[in-house]
Amino acid sequence: MLWTLSSVTQFTTTFRPSFGMPMKELLECKHLMEWIEFEKGLIGEEELARKFFIDGRGFDLEGLKECIR
């Protein structure tokens, strides 16, 4: 995975709590590349929300965006 230290730090301290699960569990059930593709501009917010989890479950995209602000 191509994660910079700042993106890992931001993900673990800011984004992860909005998913309401331990980091180990989150990493086991999310797609490996969706966030990177989103950061590169290859996919949009809606596609990220649809594909983020391997099993297709949804998540609170608006809540995640609020954490980022």
Average pLDDT of the chain is 77
Instruction: Find out whether 27 and 49 touch, Cβ atoms under 8 Å.
Output: no
Q: Which of 4-13, 29-38, 52-61 has the lowest mean pLDDT?
A: 4-13
First CA to last CA across the chain, in angstroms? Answer: 25
| Predicted structure pTM score | 0.66
